[in-house]
Structure 1
């Protein structure tokens, strides 16, 4: 079945049901607070239906649009500042979120993240398109722990659930313009309203151009860290009768720039023992690093309500291309570099049937189809100083079918049990070919061609029990199994390098509680994770590869607290502890420094070593103070984030020391909130910390530093 015919099937999936409308369910943070201005009630769709956050037996952190703005959360990667247990390393326009130590360090078109990203019910598989910019957002929810029953494959760590605003009949809009350091200009706009009594639409656009870099390439004097991005999204929502609604969403984004690039890690492995003497945000590379991505997609949501059930169809198509060029050796010499294009095409179709009748028994059942075509073409590994160039082309196809169901039964007025199953069948196929070009034509040789296919069937599940002591205090316990897809290393064309699916069993106990007439909220959870065939990223002879470790254990806890001690003042705090260690992993490649700092390659056992990119401790603190002054309002906001040390790879040799970040803003709203002026700053301490660390054995240990201090001003208007 080709993609065009799949899309046709998806569009027609509910044609027989188009008769009358249903109100679409959308998560939100209820604006109405208690009479004495406590914390607002939060509504989420963590279980495919609208529920109070405090009633959901899942660890969830949810943020409204207002909270995202005041806390300076502009992109998905910024969520780590305000979400206990979430870290979000990013490189260029791609990112690899990790929740409770579970994530993916390298994404090369052959694998997917362990933390899934969903936007309006649609799965975004490509890492190159998951560092999304927020604009017309209604809510962002971070679900922690495996979500395999309702959300399926590649949600072993959890998922990031983004819900955009629905357009209404009332005409409304807003616009913002901003300017910041590094000669950064930005602007956004949102416009919504009714077109007819049965049709409403909106459009949101966002533009940002950082014209000066926050570092220099010492080799050629050019800036690194410049970027330019544009995104647009439109949503059209129509009533097709008394019980049926149709929502069409289309989006487009383009991100390009000279991302900061890699630089050698001080006092660690580097090629030929070279050292780096530039500033902390500088690089010294014969390659000017660049990235350029283009993504767009369209989805159709059809919803029909019967007397006691609701039927939902979500059809989606996504198209992405990511181009890159970077210097693998991080040195001012033509030793080893890589460039290429990562194409990505995806179609998905989901059917959901949900119970809506009141009573002790509630359920959801569904079918899911997923088809993805990705690759690495054309790609080049360039090593003129070593006397060769490799031309690489590979393609990987994924086709997945799943059926799922989950039911909750109230065994008493205060106690409920939940059970769910999902059966997934997935086929991965791979084809690759390449050419090895030597300085001597006599040594030129083909690489491949090679082809392979693997089919797996996995059963995942959820079982939980929850008990309400009263309306404000609930405890729960759950057992979940999730799995992450296997796949092929996209740059590997001489041999089909298949890595097996990763399986995770998760045991969790949690608390949801509110006190003092909703002036204090305390939510937390403790968990124990058991991995089988854990997927790990490493380097073999300087090239990225994905391995299966045998097993690992993970346990810890996370909690978050929110309080309103006095009117207008909101305090938040979160702490996460992760104890992640390998049980058995014998192929962790490492290197030691010999005379002159030259790498000597060897393998060790990683048993007892810490999981990569996983700090033991993270801490989040926040404060917001709202001061009304007549028709003017002043909102002061500050956030603090602390991470303990973490390591780059399974052998725990290269590390990022502990660090702390501080963000802050002051927003003045006047003319009854029609106009606003906000002054903001991020990473106010100008801390140089690694967003990513790579052990590119034996070429070099390299670091990709996150952006330093940024600050600016934003003007806003509403109408």
Structure 2
């Protein structure tokens, strides 16, 4: 059935291109929104203005595989964080981690645990690259839209975008008076969220405007702790955020905007369930034998200790000048964050081990971009940026009982600890040009030079009785793209491009190992984006083929998390997003993806299974190793699909929308070893909505049920080293949530 849908959509593309009358689109004045994007808050795919190409244009006219979600649509679907967008967005996955979120796009990301490594998915908030996005993605506050760019974005977004980019774009101040409040309450478990904003002019002339938004969220927690000495609930939420902005626009030629934001999370953190060991022949540590493991189905766990505290502050100054028919933009950004995460390390009543992570980071990000007049046949942009981050990290893993070579038992030791000052500096210069040979046929190309440097002072009191080591490394790389786009008609556009990506090298802090190498990739991609049948059907299709060299893979080696350069990997697949309006009342949305992401060459050891190896390895002092060629990359399900239906019922005072969405994905592995214990079998989630909107749009209300069947879905499984018991610890996504919301916007 899935294949027939795919063929039908592709047939619609081809047949429409063949019979459509090709008409040249008239040029529009500089800065004016495209005609088919007049309603930026619309539900359809092509109606949202995005800045994925560093210019404002519609999704259809942007030669990038991008999913875009307007703020109004996020609110209607009860989308509270990036995790809620995983279902309807093709080829994006998010896994829990101790001190960060493991975000992958098309199978590429990286589970950041130790300092010294970066994610392969770049996060940008209000235009600024965020090195430590702990809270940026936790809650969505007063957003204009969210953009998810798939594939390497090395030219326009630079370092650490081998997998893709996520742009979080807040609403900006305007001179018009607006305000609003939204209240959400729920049960199973108890839920409460209050958010609001106020916007308007700060002077009589309207040249100075401001906007303030704030949000308070509370969720009692999906998991109950059965131990009285620990927190009562886990997988909970207790966070606050506030954002203030001032915008000064003395003329059409210049504007300046200052943003200040603070966010806080004071929750009990995620629960860790003991799944067992990765091999039936590996017994549990003696202290855990006979201990109860909790019950995932009932969401009951044993946790002696668990808490999570995150504080973040950031401020951005954005300046725009109209210059030479184009626009010059300057961004000055500063961010400060602190994260403390303590998790029970065994999921039982025994006081065996726990993991403590403390991250303190300060960053500056500055960028200057000039974009030329978009109405000319030849357009270009030139840019430069600078990033500097100071990160201090302390990790402690006390162990009550752990076997160490020779049968020695260590009692109450800290296997890894100490602050780790890590300085990252990066600067880049880039440019992109496009020439329209006709209004329909365009060629584009871009080039970027990036210089990265990391300096680290690391400490591990487990190695040689405690050692301080200072190291520094730097890397340079050129990334580029070249491609073409063609408008087959006024409603169908296609593109073909070749692009490269670069993720800098780094250090696995605490391992005292030499730096690991940068990760690079090359991507061949083709796409079709169109509106069909008088805009009743909108569909975006992308196919891609990527080759990776020195792919960075996070592993547990010895007592620490470490990054290894896997030799080579190949990733290819297809992504489809559709929106079909059958009549004025009924709309159907379907997205689907196929992903084949495998290692071409990768031989490594599994520290949780020290005796598992291929024949002929493990001789003498050579570690036991496994050939992982052909294994799937972590967090890369082969098939994903999301099907939603929405039916509008008109009322005298407005309309009611009945909605349902089912999100499904095939089996996903969480480690490169592709073991059953560290995977999530194929599973789907059903979400139901009943939304009300008044005729003037001021009043909204909703009844919702998320994950109706209460599926218990693993978000991640971490398998620790044999030194601390080869334990497989699973963390789970939210269970069922029932609730209602009310909103008033003026």
Q: TM (normalized to structure 2)?
A: 0.87
How far apart in 2 are the matches of 1:539 and 1:143?
30
How far apart in 2 are the matches of 1:513 and 1:106?
38
* 601, 619, 636: which one aligns with 2:641: 619
Tell me whether 1:345 sits opposite 2:374 in the alignment.
no
SS of alignment partner, residue 85 of structure 2 = helix
SS of alignment partner, residue 155 of structure 2 = helix
How big is the shift at 1:156? 0.9
Gaps of 5+ in 1: 1-21, 437-443
Tell me whether 1:30 sits opposite 2:57 in the alignment.
no
How big is the shift at 1:276? 4.7
Tell me whether 1:224 sits opposite 2:251 in the alignment.
no
How big is the shift at 1:497? 4.5
The structure where strand makes up a greater share of residues is 1
Partner residue, 2:284: 271
How far apart in 2 are the matches of 1:43 and 1:313?
21
Distance 1:551 1:445, change over 3 A: closer
* 684, 687, 691: which one aligns with 2:708: 684
SS of alignment partner, residue 453 of structure 2 = strand
Tell me whether 1:416 sits opposite 2:433 in the alignment.
no
How far apart in 2 are the matches of 1:632 and 1:579?
46
How big is the shift at 1:508? 0.6
Q: TM (normalized to structure 1)?
A: 0.90
Tell me whether 1:709 sits opposite 2:730 in the alignment.
no
Distance 1:217 1:491, change over 3 A: farther
* 518, 521, 539: which one aligns with 1:504: 521
Partner residue, 2:397: 381
Higher mean C-alpha deviation, range 205-214 or range 299-308: 205-214
Cα deviation, 1:119-171, whole Å, max 9, x if unaligned, reads: 12111111423423113111111111111101110111111112111221111
- Kept in 2: contact 1:538–1:588 (CA 8 A): no
How big is the shift at 1:91? 4.1
Partner residue, 1:210: 219
Tell me whether 1:644 sits opposite 2:666 in the alignment.
yes
Cα deviation, 1:242-298, whole Å, max 9, x if unaligned, reads: 411001111110012112321222574563384754221646545322111001100
How big is the shift at 1:602? 4.7
* 569, 573, 579: which one aligns with 2:590: 573
* 389, 393, 399: which one aligns with 2:419: 393
1:69-468 aligned within 5 A? 69-91=75-97, 94-181=100-187, 182-196=189-203, 197-218=206-227, 220=229, 222-265=232-275, 268-269=278-279, 271-272=284-285, 274=289, 276-280=292-296, 282=299, 284-285=301-302, 287-356=304-373, 358-377=375-394, 379-385=395-401, 386-387=410-411, 388-390=413-415, 391-435=417-461, 446-468=465-487
How far apart in 1 are the matches of 2:58 and 2:595?
27
Higher mean C-alpha deviation, range 206-215 or range 120-129: 206-215
How far apart in 1 are the matches of 2:607 and 2:574?
31
How big is the shift at 1:345? 0.8
How far apart in 2 are the matches of 1:283 and 1:624?
35
Gaps of 5+ in 2: 1-29, 402-409, 613-617
How far apart in 2 are the matches of 1:255 and 1:343?
15
- Kept in 2: contact 1:96–1:127 (CA 8 A): no
How big is the shift at 1:357? 5.5
Distance 1:626 1:290, change over 3 A: same
SS of alignment partner, residue 420 of structure 2 = strand
- Kept in 2: contact 1:108–1:489 (CA 8 A): yes
- Kept in 2: contact 1:38–1:564 (CA 8 A): no
How big is the shift at 1:359? 2.0
How big is the shift at 1:370? 0.5
How far apart in 2 are the matches of 1:127 and 1:548?
24
Distance 1:53 1:461, change over 3 A: same
How big is the shift at 1:224? 1.9
- Kept in 2: contact 1:588–1:606 (CA 8 A): no
Partner residue, 1:483: 502
Distance 1:534 1:38, change over 3 A: closer
Distance 1:227 1:420, change over 3 A: same
How big is the shift at 1:110? 2.5
SS of alignment partner, residue 66 of structure 1 = helix
How far apart in 2 are the matches of 1:32 and 1:132?
24
How big is the shift at 1:301? 0.5
Partner residue, 1:8: none
Higher mean C-alpha deviation, range 479-488 or range 178-187: 178-187
* 560, 564, 573: which one aligns with 1:543: 560
How far apart in 2 are the matches of 1:607 and 1:212?
40
How far apart in 1 are the matches of 2:684 and 2:438?
47
- Kept in 1: contact 2:295–2:301 (CA 8 A): no
How big is the shift at 1:667? 1.6
Tell me whether 1:44 sits opposite 2:50 in the alignment.
yes
Distance 1:25 1:567, change over 3 A: closer
Partner residue, 1:65: 71
Higher mean C-alpha deviation, range 402-411 or range 96-105: 96-105
How far apart in 2 are the matches of 1:27 and 1:295?
39
- Kept in 2: contact 1:107–1:127 (CA 8 A): no
Tell me whether 1:630 sits opposite 2:683 in the alignment.
no
SS of alignment partner, residue 279 of structure 1 = coil
Question: How many residue pairs align between the two structures?
Answer: 682
How big is the shift at 1:40? 6.5
- Kept in 2: contact 1:283–1:330 (CA 8 A): no
Distance 1:712 1:93, change over 3 A: farther
Partner residue, 2:530: 513
How far apart in 2 are the matches of 1:48 and 1:28?
19
How big is the shift at 1:55? 1.2
How big is the shift at 1:209? 1.4
How big is the shift at 1:218? 4.3
How big is the shift at 1:25? 9.2
How far apart in 2 are the matches of 1:545 and 1:159?
24
How far apart in 2 are the matches of 1:491 and 1:334?
25
SS of alignment partner, residue 69 of structure 1 = helix
How far apart in 2 are the matches of 1:590 and 1:562?
47
